[in-house]
Structure formats: structure tokens, C-alpha cells
Structure 1
Amino acid sequence: MIRKLVHNSLNIKAARTYVPYQDLENKAMLNAFLETPSQFIHHFRRYTNSLSTQMLFGFRTINNDDPRLKQLFRSFEGFSDVMGSGAAALLNAFPLLRHLPDVFLPMRRHAQELHRAEAALFLGHYRETKERVKIGEAKPCLCVDLVRAQDKEGFSDLTAAYVSGSLLEAGSDTTSATLVGWSQAMLLFPEVCKAAQAEIDRVCGDRLPDLNDLPDLPYIRGCMKESLRWMPTVILGVPHATVRDDEYMGYKIPKGAGVILNVWGISNDPKRHPNPRKFDPTRWAGDNQTSVEAANNQDASKRDHFVFGAGRRLCQGMHIADRSLFLAMSRLLWAFDFERPIDEITGKEIIPNIDALVPDGGTFVQPEPFEAVIKPRSEQKAQRVREEWSKATELLDDEMQWKAVPENLIWRDYEPAEVAAKA
């Protein structure tokens, strides 16, 4: 029931209705790059988080210091550390050890503390939105349908909170981390940055790229695919289970066995991708598959990456992630140059460490924080960014929330189950 609800909210048709959200948040991010370029990692996080909070709960996350934004990323990074820990592996291998008291399992106690903080965050988001839905003051969002489903099915607030909260995590973390990896690649491989800018300038000239330019920017599409392969943020995927007995290379895999997808290993297999640590968008020349088409390709050798999973439980937000990545990469490269900082003592360029990832040993990773010099390519482009954001803010109220949500969103007005039954 929950999967059906989520699918109806994130499928290809529904994803098209979120483009106004993506366009506005992207322009907010571009303006933030002008004002505080050194905080680019935080700008990526706010960009993806605000898009997610609008889709799920009907409100924008307007600044990098929002405490709920910070809590979300702290919680996700903490759980990544826990799941990648030796204690977790030990308890998985020897289930009897799970009966030990917490005094002998400090990592489990830490995980429980993380859960309490996470549950409070998710419940807070859901209950605030649910209250607005009940009194008719909620903006259109997925929780409108979730509240209706709760009325009909009777599941708890905590279940509803984790449905919406899990989507909030998925929509916020992976896309922002992919953009952090991409921006590092622009510093490590400056020739890629220049080639991408040349293509954008040729196609778009003095105007911001938009989604209609996607077919005419194959090198940018290659950057998207290569970013997801080169820095696959969910390096071990999400655990799956077999639905029947299977056999692979002589190994029997029994029904119900847990299966881990080694996304990092596949992405960096030199037989599959020669010189895998080189960021090379030309690998994908002629590959016009979207992430959805590639993930569902029956020939697994022709799938561009595995960040969105494999099997029957693929990420349902792939269409949205593709658009967010395209808008971010194309517009940032249109407006800004990405350069390596200079060490004040040695006078040499500071080059990010390609092998340094955080959290170290976790299941979800991204490059450790690094410095970058990000500056407008021209004053004309900077002014265009300001003008675009100024026009976008006309759609917002004094609290920087939407005055009226964009037309054609998929969610219906909330109607209590008893009213719907009488109708």
C-alpha cells in the first residue's frame, strides 16, 4: 500500500509537476553561490533538502542554518557510520550476541540515541503537516495522500513519519552528495569543466540553461552519468533479499538470503570502465538513456551506474534526481568557474584528495570537505543570476514560502475518510 502511494507521487508523470519547485530552488542556490561561494557544500544540501520538504510537507527550507536540515544530515551520517561498523557486522554474523546488555554494546546504545533523535525529527515534520492538512491549511504535498491513507488503513503516526522521513533522507542526501563529488571532479579534471562550459555556451549563449536544453547538451548528460558512476554515494546499495533459491557461479543463494550490491566495486571495475578513477564524460557518448531506462535495462552491462539500486526495489525518485542534477550542473557551469585554491605559503594549487571519503567505512559516502574557488565567469552572468532570483522571489511571501503553489500539482485536497465514504 505504501509503495503504491509513493509510486503514484514519484512516477514520471508526477515528477514533471515538480519542475517549478526545482527551478526556483536552483535559482536560490545560484544566488547563494554568488553571495557565499565558500559554503557550496551547504548550498547543495539546502537545494536538495528544500525541494524534498516542499514535495513531502509543503514548505521550503530557506537557509543553510535550519536546525532540522542540520539534524537530518547528522542523523544520516551517524547511521551510515553505525551500519558500517565492526559491531554491526559482528551482530549480523552472530545473532546471539544481540541479547547482550547495552553496556557491552556501546555502538547499539549510540544507534538507539540516533533513532530517538531521528524519530523526533520525522514525527515533528509529519505531525505538523498532518495538523495543517486536517484544518485545510496545508500546501499540496505527498503528506496529503499519506494522511488520507492513514485514515483508511489505520497505521501509526510513526509509520507515516518514517514513510515521509525516509523519502526526505533519500531526496536530500544522495543528490547533494553527488553534486559535492561532481564539484570535486571539476577541480581535479579542469579540462572537463572547460569542455562542458564550451558546450553550454554554444547551445545557450547568454541565457540560463533549462530542461528543454537537455537533448542538445550530451556532454552535460555525460557529466551526470559519470558523476553517479565516479562518486557513487551509496557504495553498498540498499540490502535486498532473494525471493527464491538461486545459484551464481556455483554458489547456492537460498531464498530469503540478504544480498548486498557492491556499487563501488562495479563502478570502479576496470574491465567495465577502463581507468575508472578518471572522470570522463565521453564514456557515455551516444548513451541517451535516462537513469530509469538504464536501471531497467535487461542487459546489466549496459546500465550506466547502480546508485539507484537494482532488482525489484529501485529508487522511485530517479526522474526527479536526474532533473535536479541537470539543472545544477548546467547552470552552475554556465554561471561560474571552478578553480583550485592557492596555498598562501607554497604558492601551489591545493588539489583535493580523490581517495578521502567521509564517513570513512560508512555505507553512505562523499568526498571529505575541500576548498574551491568558485567565482562568476563574468559580471553579466552574475547579474543575470541576480535577476532570475529576483523574478523568482515574486512568487514568494515575506517568509520566503510560496504565495500560491504552482498549478497542475498531483495532490488532491484532503478529504477525511468518513466524508469520502459518504460521497
Structure 2
Amino acid sequence: MALQWDVILAFVLIVSLISAVQSRSRKSSAPVLTSDWFFGYPTALKMFTQYRPMLVEGYAKFNKHAFQVPGIKGWIVFVGRELYDDVRKARDDSLSMPEQVKDTVALEYTIDRAVALDPWHNSVVRKQMTQALGAKFPEIYDEITSAFQDELKLSGKEWKPVYAHDLIIHIVCRASNRLFVGLPLCRDPVYTQISRDFSGTVMFSGFLINLFPTFLKPLVGRWITAAPRARKGFEKFLVPMIKDRWRKEQEMGELWEKDKPSDLLQWVMDASKEHDSTPEDITNRLLGVNFAATHTTSLSFTHVVYWLAARPECASILREDVDEAVAKHGWTKTALGEMHKIDSFIKESLRVTGIGATAMGRKAMKDLTLSDGTFVPKGASVVMNLWGIHHDPTIFPKPLEFDPLRYSRRIEAGESEAGNSLATASGEFLFWGGGSHVCAGRHFASQEMKTMLAVIVSLYEVKFEGLADGVRPKDRWMAYSCIPDMKQRVMFRLRE
């Protein structure tokens, strides 16, 4: 039996090597940053630990122009702001975002094949959900404040140490699901734990699956992914809800339109009629939205909390921003829109310590030439150099410094409020991506993070455990991902 497994392993490695050699047989015309010796594998492995430094080096060495680096699965062409419109406007038959995601996260195995091939629910997130954010704000605010109280359980004036990401992922999961499925399910400990646990496995599982050749991915995916267990867990809750709502719709007729729930589940159910979806398919789509909402927002906001703990002098400034807006409009979406300093603090955090060093990854579906003359062969990846752009001194004065009011000062100086808003995607702020594949849920994620920060500065005091003011724990880099120090604890106490 041992010999058989040795043979199988050898076969897999040989097939993978042949596939890799074929993918490296044609390069882009962009200059190579480092050596492509031995099919580029030494450099590809180096990228796991030196991704950010290599982006910095390439951005400076080639004067912000395109350059290429060998990756594990093929050549990666990194481009600067001058080619933002090339990537943003590209159609999926030339530069494909869905195909790039498949090669990165393997969504058809880590979430669901039908969801990966036809994510029609994204239009529901982009339209119905975004349009409802004003009306649903009181519920989101209620869930965020309740979740903080339930998780922190503070009384008196004592400081309580917590692991920030553990706290934030609980808050985000509850707040998101208040909009997705409503009460009481958004507070169900089993349901929310499924969402939290699943969110932590998708990226890692996708990476492992994509190390194998295409014909082995279905087999490997069956063993590695947590999707089947998560789907079954979600189905126990959602399938009965979906069937019950469909039953009520049939029985109530026109009255259902007035009385039906207002949440993402219902909006997806309404849209599903055009797609002949089953309750299980709708459940898979809610699972996918949960992953997108929970993983990215919780990591991003943990960075925000770390900056607040490192800069306690900012708390009073942000608190004044909140108090002034709430005094005029109450706790409403309108008030949130006037909290420019809250908005700026978060946006600056995402600029300085975004959760990734790249953005807008696309896979070339055919040979093509970019507007600067760069040739890109079929199969190569084209990726925006987010780190280089977000830390470019010609765009951002003193780009390595965390300047919490960088964007609010621009607005005070007369610049566009929309142009400097957290939720706005642009060629100089790439966190949300861009073009037809810009993050569908960015308005909700922005509202959620702004509300969480506004609640924190209004109700709590925050500082690091064991660190002096102004000191922020060092982030951990894994390939292109920037992860806050999960071992560092943050202290919370009620405001006096």
C-alpha cells in the first residue's frame, strides 16, 4: 500500500510539474523582476514570505510600470495606476475576474459550483440590499450595540482584555446576519458559529486545492473543503425558513407583498424565481455572502481597532465627530454619512494596513496587449499593485505614516465628499476593486465598519494590553495577505 501511495504522489507531482512548465512556456513582454531559473519556482516560493517587499522593489525599479514575477501556477503581471482603466474596463472574455478567483480560492469546491459559475445573487446585494441600507440602519445599529454588550459583558470601570479579532468576528457575524436573515436567527449561537468557522477555512482550503492539477481538484476538494458540512448546517436553519415563506406566499397572495420579511434571504428568494432555484441553492448563496461579509470585514476592522488602540488621542476627535452628527440626525444613516472623520480613520487604516497587497486580479483568457504596449499571454494573471499605489508618495504625502484625518481634511479643503468616501472605489484606492466586478457589498461593509467604530468611541475606551501608547503590534504577512497580530489583546472598558 505504501508503494502505491508513493506512485500516486509521484504521478501527481509529475503532472503538476508538466502543467507548470506549460504555463511558464510563454511570458509577458513586461520585464522580469527576479530570476526565472528552474521555471521560476525558487522565486514563486520566495513570494510566500517576500510578497510585499517584492512589490515595493518592482514598483520602484520599473518606475510604476508593469513587471512580471513567476507564481506557483504561472506568470503574474503586476501593473500600476496607469493601467487601472485597462483592468477596470476589461471584459471577462479577455481579462476574467471569475476565472482568476477560481484559480485563487477554488470557489466551486470551497463554496459551491453553481454559485461560482453564476453568482446572480450579487446583483441582489448590489441593488436591493444597498437600496435598503437606510431603512435597515436602525436594526444594524441595534445589533451592533447589543452584540458589543453581550460579548464584552462590562460593568463598572474595570478594563477587560479580549482578542480583538475574536470579538470583531462575533460582532460582524451578528450584524451582517441581522440584515441577511433577521431576528432571532442572527443571534443563534449554532448558526453564527457555522458562519464564523466556515469563513476561516475558505481561503486556506482554496489555496491547497489549487496546488493540484485540474483533473484532481474534485477529488481533493471533497476531502479538504468544509463546504459540505457548512451547507448542511445552514440548510437545517434556512431550508425550513425558505419553504415556510414560499408556503405563506402561496396562501396569502397579494397580502404577502405587504407582510413579507425585509432581509437578504427574501430578496434572494424573490430573484430566484427567474433562475428556478431550489432552497438548497439559495442556502448556498447565503453561505457565500456570509463568507464574503464575515472574512474581509472582520480582518479589516481588526486593523482599525488596532490603530485606535495605538492612537488613543484620536478617540476624542472621533467622538466629537459622532456626537455632532447624532445631535443633528440621531443614530441614522444620514448621521453616519456626515461622520467624515470616522470615515477617514477607517479608510486610512485600509490604505496603510489593508488586508492584501494586491487587487483586481484577472486571468488572461487570450493573448492581449495593454494600452502601454505590454503583451500578456493567455493564462497569465494581471494584478494591480495595491501596495505600491497605496504607498506612492506622489499620491499620498508621507505615505508610510498613518494619518487618520487624511481624507476628511481633503473634504474640508473643498474636495469631493464622494471621491474621498470610504465606499468609493478608484484608481488610488483599490480596496474594493473596480469595474463591473467592484465589491457588490462595499456600501454595507462601509456602513457596518463606520457604525462599529462610532459605537466603540461613543461607549468604550480602548487600549492595548502591555503596550505603550503609539505602539502597534507588528502585522503578519502570508503571501499577499496582511494579518493583524492575533495574539495581541486589546483592553476595553465603559466610558466614564
TM-score by length of 2: 0.60
- Whole-angstrom distance in 2 between the partners of 1:197 and 1:184: 17
Give the match for residue 58 of structure 1: 182
User: What secondary structure, in the 3-state scheme, does the structure 1 residue paired with 2:180 have?
Assistant: helix
Aligned to 1:142: 264
1:98 lines up with 2:214 in the alignment: yes
Partner of 1:182: 304
Confirm or deny that 1:267 pairs with 2:385: no
Asked if 2 retains the 8 angstrom alpha-carbon contact of 1:230 and 1:279, the reply is: yes
Equivalence for 2:105 = none
Alpha-carbon contact 1:270-1:276 (below 8 Å) kept: yes
- Deviation, 1:179, is 1.9
> Residue by residue, what CA displacement relative to the aligned partner does 1:270-327 show, whole Å, maximum 9, x if unpaired?
55434444321222122422658731x5xx24xxx32221121111222222222222
The whole-number CA distance in structure 1 between the counterparts of 2:172 and 2:278 is 28
CA distance in structure 1 between the aligned counterparts of 2:300 and 2:202, rounded to whole angstroms: 19
Report what 1:193 is aligned to: 315
Q: Within the alignment, does 1:328 sit opposite 2:452 as a pair?
A: yes
Paired residue secondary structure (2:226): helix
Cα 1:252–1:44 change in 2 (3 A) is same
Aligned match of 2:192:
69
Equivalent residues of 1:209, 1:331 under 8 A apart: no
Aligned to 2:461: 337
Equivalent positions of 1:398-417 (< 5 A) are none
Matched, 1:278 2:401: yes
Gaps of 5+ in 1: 92-96, 379-423
In structure 2, the partner of 1:5 is 124
Rounded Cα–Cα distance in structure 2 between residues aligned with 1:75 and 1:326: 25
- Secondary structure of the corresponding residue to residue 186 of structure 1: helix
- Which residue of 301, 307, 312 maps to 2:436? 312
Which residue of 1 is the match for residue 20 of structure 2?
A: none
Q: 1:155 to 1:234 in 2, by over 3 A?
A: farther
Greater fraction of residues in strand? 2
Give the aligned partner of residue 46 of structure 2.
Answer: none
Matched to 1:354, the amino acid is K
- Per the TM alignment, residue 118 of structure 1 is displaced from its structure 2 partner at its CA by 3.4
Contact 2:199–2:290 (8 Å) recurs in 1: no
Is residue 236–residue 263 contact of structure 1 (8 Å, CA) maintained in 2?
Answer: yes
Secondary structure of the residue aligned to 2:461 is strand
- Mapped to 2, the partners of 1:148 and 1:62 lie a distance apart of 21
Aligned-residue offset at 1:248: 5.0
TM-score (structure 1 length as normaliser) = 0.69
Assess, with a 3 A threshold, how the Cα gap between structure 1 residues 59 and 215 changes in structure 2: closer, same or farther: closer
Distance 1:126 1:294 in 2: 33
The answer to whether the aligner puts 1:226 opposite 2:348 as a matched pair is yes
Cα drift, residue 242 of structure 1: 5.8
Tell me which residue corresponds to 2:374. Answer: 251
**Alignment partners' CA distance in 2, 1:308 and 1:184:** 21
Alignment-derived partner of residue 31 in structure 1? 149
1:121–1:196 distance in 2 versus 1, CA, 3 Å = same
Where structure 2 has 5 or more consecutive residues not aligned to the other structure, the ranges are 1-119, 155-159, 250-259, 412-416
Give the deviation of 1:114 after TM superposition: 2.0
Q: Which residues of 2 match residues 386-397 of structure 1 at below 5 A? A: none
Q: Secondary structure at the match of 2:183?
A: coil
1:133 and 1:262 map into 2 onto residues whose CA distance is 46
Shift of 1:167: 1.6
User: In 2, distance between residues paired with 1:115 and 1:190?
Assistant: 41
Amino acid across the alignment from 2:476: A
Residue identity opposite 1:7 in structure 2: R
Residue 80 of structure 1: aligned partner: 203
State the distance in 1 between where 2:247 and 2:202 align. Answer: 35
Residue 356 in structure 1 maps to residue 476 in structure 2: yes
The code of the aligned residue for 1:5 comes to V
Q: Which amino acid aligns with 2:302?
A: V
Secondary structure at the counterpart of residue 31 of structure 1: helix
* Structure 1 residues 185 and 269: CA distance shift in structure 2, 3 A: same
Give how far 1:182 is off: 0.8
Aligned to 2:424: 294
Percent pairwise identity: 16
Cα distance in 2 for partners of 1:225, 1:189 equals: 15
8 Å CA contact 1:81, 1:363 repeated in 2: no
Supply the distance in 1 between the matched residues of 2:216 and 2:165 (Cα, whole angstroms).
Answer: 40
Shift of residue 152, structure 1, vs aligned partner: 4.1
Aligned pairs, number: 353
TM-superposed CA distance for 1:203, in Å, is 6.3
